[in-house]
Amino acid sequence: MICKNCGAKIADGNSRCKKCNTPVNKPKAETKMEMHMYNAIFDRRLHVPSLLVGLAALALAFFTGYGGIALGIVGLILARRAREKYASATGHMFSFIALIVGAFMTLIIIANNINALNA
């Protein structure tokens, strides 16, 4: 790189010119690459929680329907943000199944409560 202020050559990795102490602006390609790397690391951190929340939602859906629905929605949000192909797909799958099972179990619980009130 070359300093925009004095024209001196700047070594890669330096944030300021050694001759005139002017800050060096990074090229946009480097900034985009850094953002891509940050997003990739952030996405990898989310795939395990999305899978675990999906599994917990599925387990909770069998006991309390509404709990499975709530955790299923959280699992879908995490899985959508994870973006990793396989982990995100399994997180989506477990969360979606938890939503369906949770809705079904909620309907069964409501039906049982109505029958108990009528009896």
Residues 21-73 have pLDDT tens digits of: 888 876 555 566 666 665 555 555 666 777 777 778 888 887 887 788 888 88
Buried b (16+ CB within 10 A) or exposed e, 15-40: eebeeeeeebeeeeeeeeeeeeeeee
pTM of the model: 0.52
* SS3 call for 32: helix
Give the whole-number percent of the chain exceeding pLDDT 90: 0
Q: Write out the two tokens for 65.
A: 């329907």
